[in-house]
């Protein structure tokens, strides 16, 4: 029986092997084993497919990221290019205004207003244009503002500043004077330096901050109603004009004027030693009779130095209908200075500025503003018309006249450089830049005395609450104010730094010291005879000092950051 079971088991095993061999094909040496080894297993095949899918997905993700990064770089480069292009357009506008003002020097020497272009189109393509426009700037939405129509904060005393009682108290006026004296050079470099004075807030300087804005021009000519509304507001204000928004409308640091005649030559210094050269200059303009009179006077009083008060009292005596006073003011001066500062433009200053001058008050200033609106440009070309019109008495005029002028050599403008993209109704702003500049014409070469980018002015005003609060006084200062010294304070007393010594502006940036055209010790040179506009007369060098010794006079130089082209 056991043998039978073994026989049946071997038969079953033999049959099973035969069935497997039939499935594997003909038998070869180690063939079935190798064939089975070459066939991939289903589990391994799935892993390979998953790895390939992950690699492809990662590569696609990397390519997509690089594509987005490339597009961002392209857009960033385009934005930088648009910004640089808009800045170049705005700077071209500043240069264009400077060139137009330079071409009208004679008109401004005669006291007339400059005429400037308010818009330029520099280039245009099928879908893009480069435009330059002047933006409203002054309280009356003027496109150009006289800096001489403001009071020079670097020369005004506390009494004059206190007359602007709508903005300043006597204590605050005195604080401004002290702050000015504590600064390097004894002067403010910009009106924004007033923010360093305790009590001068941004609202006091510029007016309500929610109304501080850059009145940008419309992107399309179809919005011409903007200009019409601006003109209408100007007409509705009346003769007296609008109320000043803040101290920035009344104060300046750029009131400078060359001491030259309307002919473009320097004025004649009547305190200089009389010689044949002075005789020729006086005779050429005023005739031999006046030249002989001045010679006799100087020969009898060779050492006499005519003071400012004596000079203007003498001019009052010569006042007549033939405009002799204005002729003498235009032709003569009392020293060898080539520039004068702090003169207020009688024909353009608002009543608040005129009232701050010696001998005047708000009632007299308002009468002057009202009277000058009734006069022609020719009648206002001088300083004597307030006496002729009866707006001022002789005493009042003699007190205020040394601080007055009828010309302006420094002008402030706002220039918009704008790139417009699109056509007709689909015009949009692709880039823009707004520059505020002060252009100084007091020297033969016109120059930019001040330049500021105010493109983001509204944004800066809206974010002003995010600025850090000013540092709180330390405990020692606080205890000193309370009269209770700190027990931990050392016995040695250290001098506290002046609160006026900071050289940072309202934004916290360091303020650079001003640079001048020439050093203080440089002597003026003699130009060639009869130049078109060099401030010299046709006879050569400046006149000599009188025989008597005079105290040295500080040379006045224009201030600013650039001269000529950048």
Q: 482: burial class by Cβ within 10 Å (0-12, 13-18, 19+)?
A: exposed
CA distance 351 to 557: 28
CA distance 562 to 516: 9
Q: In this structure, are 355 and 418 located in the same domain?
A: no
| The pLDDT value given to residue 383 | 92
| The pLDDT value given to residue 558 | 59
Q: In this structure, are 88 and 130 located in the same domain?
A: yes
For 376, the domain range is 306-337+347-398
pLDDT band at 333 (very low <50, low <70, confident <90, very high): very high
What average pLDDT does the structure give for the chain?
Answer: 76
Q: In this structure, are 426 and 392 located in the same domain?
A: no
| The pLDDT value given to residue 358 | 92
- The predicted model gives 162-172 an average pLDDT of 93
CB atoms within 10 A of CB 434: 24
Q: In this structure, are 64 and 213 located in the same domain?
A: yes
Judge whether 470 lies within some domain. Answer: no
User: At residue 419, does pLDDT exceed 60?
Assistant: yes
Q: In this structure, are 225 and 322 located in the same domain?
A: no
| The pLDDT value given to residue 429 | 82
Q: In this structure, are 434 and 455 located in the same domain?
A: yes
- CA proximity to 314, closest of 354, 344, 270: 270
Judge whether 378 lies within some domain. Answer: yes
Q: In this structure, are 110 and 218 located in the same domain?
A: yes
- CA proximity to 113, closest of 515, 381, 312, 337: 381
Judge whether 496 lies within some domain. Answer: no
pLDDT band at 511 (very low <50, low <70, confident <90, very high): very low
Q: Which of 356, 373, 398 is the last residue of a domain?
A: 398
Q: Is 0.85 surpassed by the pTM of this model?
A: no
Q: What is the DSSP string of 457-471?
A: HHHHHHTGGGSPPPP
pLDDT band at 82 (very low <50, low <70, confident <90, very high): confident
Q: In this structure, are 237 and 319 located in the same domain?
A: no
Q: In this structure, are 355 and 452 located in the same domain?
A: no
User: At residue 513, does pLDDT exceed 50?
Assistant: no
- The predicted model gives 307-334 an average pLDDT of 84
| The pLDDT value given to residue 43 | 61
E strands of 183-233, at which residues? none
Q: Count how many domains the chain has.
A: 2
Q: In this structure, are 440 and 566 located in the same domain?
A: yes
């Amino acid at each position: 029986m056991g043998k039978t079971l073994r026989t049946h088991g071997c038969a079953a095993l033999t049959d099973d092997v035969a069935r497997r061999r039939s499935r594997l094909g003909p038998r070869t040496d180690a063939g079935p084993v190798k064939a089975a080894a070459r066939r991939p297993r289903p589990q391994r095949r799935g892993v390979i497919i998953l790895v390939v899918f992950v690699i492809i997905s990662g590569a696609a993700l990397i390519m997509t990221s690089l594509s987005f990064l490339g597009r961002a770089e392209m857009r960033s480069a385009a934005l930088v290019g648009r910004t640089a292009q808009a800045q170049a357009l705005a700077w071209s506008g500043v240069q264009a205004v400077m060139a137009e003002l330079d071409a009208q020097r004679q008109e401004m020497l005669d006291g007339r207003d400059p005429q400037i272009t308010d818009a330029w189109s520099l280039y245009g393509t099928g879908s893009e244009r480069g435009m330059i426009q002047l933006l409203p700037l002054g309280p009356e939405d003027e496109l150009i503002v006289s800096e001489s129509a403001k009071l020079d904060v670097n020369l005004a005393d506390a009494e004059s500043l206190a007359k602007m009682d709508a903005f300043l108290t006597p204590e605050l006026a005195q604080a401004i004077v002290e702050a000015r004296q504590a600064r390097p050079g004894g002067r403010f470099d910009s009106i924004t330096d007033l923010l360093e004075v305790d009590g001068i807030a941004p609202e006091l300087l510029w007016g309500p901050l929610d109304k501080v804005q850059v009145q940008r021009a419309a992107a399309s000519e179809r919005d011409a109603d903007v200009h019409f509304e601006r003109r209408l507001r100007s007409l509705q204000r009346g003769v007296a004009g609008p109320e000043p928004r803040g101290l920035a409308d009344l104060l300046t640091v750029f009131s400078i004027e060359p001491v030259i005649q309307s002919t473009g030559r320097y004025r004649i210094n009547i305190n200089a030693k009389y010689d044949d050269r002075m005789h020729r200059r006086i005779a050429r303009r005023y005739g031999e009779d006046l030249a002989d009179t001045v010679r006799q006077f100087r020969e009898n009083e060779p050492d006499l130095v005519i003071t400012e008060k004596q000079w203007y009292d003498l001019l009052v005596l010569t006042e007549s209908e033939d405009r002799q006073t204005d002729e003498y003011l235009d032709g003569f001066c009392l020293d060898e200075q080539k520039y004068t500062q702090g003169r207020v433009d009688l024909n353009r200053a608002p009543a608040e500025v005129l009232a701050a001058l010696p001998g005047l008050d708000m009632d007299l200033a308002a009468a002057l503003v009202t009277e000058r609106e009734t006069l022609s440009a020719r009648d206002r070309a001088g300083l004597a018309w307030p006496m002729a019109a009866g707006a001022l008495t002789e005493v009042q005029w003699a007190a205020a006249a040394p601080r007055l002028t009828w010309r302006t050599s420094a002008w402030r403008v706002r220039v918009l450089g704008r790139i417009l993209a699109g056509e007709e109704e689909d015009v949009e702003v692709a880039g823009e830049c707004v520059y505020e500049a002060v252009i100084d014409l007091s020297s033969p070469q016109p120059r930019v005395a001040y330049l500021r980018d105010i493109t983001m002015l509204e944004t800066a005003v809206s974010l002003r609450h995010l600025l850090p609060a000013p540092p709180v006084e330390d405990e020692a200062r606080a205890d000193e104010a309370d009269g209770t010294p700190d027990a931990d304070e050392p016995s040695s007393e250290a001098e506290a730094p002046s609160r006026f010594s900071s050289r940072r502006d309202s934004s916290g940036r360091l303020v650079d010291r001003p640079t001048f055209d020439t050093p203080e010790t440089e002597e003026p040179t003699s130009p060639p005879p009869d130049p078109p506009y060099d401030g010299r007369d046709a006879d050569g060098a400046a006149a000599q000092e009188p025989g008597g010794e005079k105290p040295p006079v500080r040379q006045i130089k224009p201030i600013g950051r650039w001269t000529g082209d950048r």
